Amino acid sequence: MKIVFHQFPIADDELDRIVHMLRHRDVLTPGFDKRYADVYDPLIYLVEKDEYDTDTFLLADRNLLTRWINLTKVVSVTDEVRVAAALLAFCQCCGILVEPSIALYEVAAESENETASYEEAVFRMVDNAHPQVLAEIALGQSDSAPMSFISAGNISVSKNVDFTMPLNAWRMNYVLALKVAALSLSGGKTEFLTERLFDWMYSQYVFLAPSTVLALFYFSPNSPKKGLFKQIRSEDRERAIAGIKNATWDLTLIHHWVNMVRNQRTNKTINLLGSLDKKLHTIARSIIAFTDSDEVSEAYRRELFDRLLGKVNTGLYPKIVQYYKDSENPIRL
């Protein structure tokens, strides 16, 4: 029997407090079944690496990236910045590799490639800071970000990546998000709008799990819509489109993470989704249920559908499930 001892780079009581903070804020969605492993247990990732040479990746969203960048600025530290610092310290203690790639593409889309490249360079320096520095910020031992030692003079900006390059997943999800918005503005009963969307996705476009679940949440009479499509009914069309694009970036992030999860057995990886956005986690977890095939996932899918759209829609659920199962059929288009 192999016995391995792990010594963390910060005190055990500090790591325990950080784990408690992250668990309370629920900032991680795992690509594995939470019934069998605790996503907030640091030893899970270290043992997987030692025993099976399994690497763990965290795909981070724009909100986290922004707060990690804020760690380099001499500003008051908000609760969300502390949580972001806690998550980065946790990842360093667990050997988790943090990847903010989709967030950087989002930055470039709203500004320019130079801004995204600069933020990437700043993030890499923050990510290389000692976990103790991050733990002190996370645990409130400092009222201001002490990482101002990171200055423009010692930041090496790479020009090897073009973050303005269009992402195919973003373009596909943008069209779907526009369709959801258009149907919503057209008015009508929930079940009718939902069925129209899925008929269109299946017969004329692509059938993607992220957009499927987003539509269920958005058209649901039993789900709060706030935050899914910001400013969609604004008379200022530019603000409405900006809200749709923001939703598209969330979908693209989840889309990329789902693809990572699908390939994790082949690639010997564990893939986590990191965000401070509870609604994003809810959608991501629901998507995993739609893509899994075991009986427990089937029961969850049914429960989710009934909760969002009501049990009266008995004919719509099997239709959507069949559409998804048949989505790879080459003769459907």
Whether residue 111 sits in one domain with residue 193: no
The pLDDT score that the predictor gives to residue 296 is: 54
Q: What percent of the chain has pLDDT over 90?
A: 48
Q: Does some domain include residue 284?
A: yes
The pLDDT score that the predictor gives to residue 76 is: 75
Whether residue 124 sits in one domain with residue 24: yes
Q: Does some domain include residue 271?
A: no
How far CA 87 is from CA of 16, 93, 268, 312, in Å, comes to: 12, 10, 23, 42
Whether residue 225 sits in one domain with residue 199: yes
Whether residue 208 sits in one domain with residue 111: no
Whether residue 82 sits in one domain with residue 41: yes
The pLDDT score that the predictor gives to residue 291 is: 62
**Among the ranges given (158-167, 264-273, 310-319), the one the predictor scored with the smallest mean pLDDT:** 310-319
Whether residue 150 sits in one domain with residue 172: no
Residue 233 has pLDDT above 70, yes or no: no
Tell which residue, 111, 118, 86, has the closest CA to residue 21: 86
Domain boundary among 125, 154, 183: 154
**Among the ranges given (48-52, 88-92, 197-201), the one the predictor scored with the smallest mean pLDDT:** 197-201
Q: Does some domain include residue 179?
A: yes
Tell which residue, 323, 74, 66, has the closest CA to residue 215: 323
Tell me which range, 7-16, 135-144, 175-184, is most confidently predicted by mean pLDDT.
7-16
Round to whole Å and give the CA distance between 125 and 123.
5
Cβ density class 310-328: b for 16+ within 10 Å, e for less:
eeebeebbeebeebbeeee
Domain that holds residue 41: 12-154
Whether residue 115 sits in one domain with residue 30: yes
Q: Does some domain include residue 215?
A: yes
Better pLDDT: 189 or 208:
189
The pLDDT score that the predictor gives to residue 136 is: 93
Q: Does some domain include residue 187?
A: yes
Better pLDDT: 333 or 306:
306
The pLDDT score that the predictor gives to residue 1 is: 41
Round to whole Å and give the CA distance between 104 and 252.
12
Q: Does some domain include residue 90?
A: yes
Are 96 and 59 spatial neighbours (Cβ–Cβ below 8 Å)?
no
Q: Output the DSSP codes for 261-273.
A: HHTHHHHTEEEEE
Are 30 and 272 spatial neighbours (Cβ–Cβ below 8 Å)?
yes
* Tokens encoding 175: 């069209």
Total domains in the chain come to 2
Strand pairing report for 97-99 and 269-274 = unpaired
**Mean pLDDT, residues 101-129:** 95
Q: Does some domain include residue 71?
A: yes
Round to whole Å and give the CA distance between 197 and 183.
8
Round to whole Å and give the CA distance between 1 and 48.
15
The pLDDT score that the predictor gives to residue 308 is: 75
**Among the ranges given (10-19, 85-94, 119-128, 209-218), the one the predictor scored with the smallest mean pLDDT:** 209-218
Sheet holding 55-60, edge to edge: 28-30, 269-274, 55-60, 97-99
The pLDDT score that the predictor gives to residue 141 is: 83
Round to whole Å and give the CA distance between 86 and 65.
13
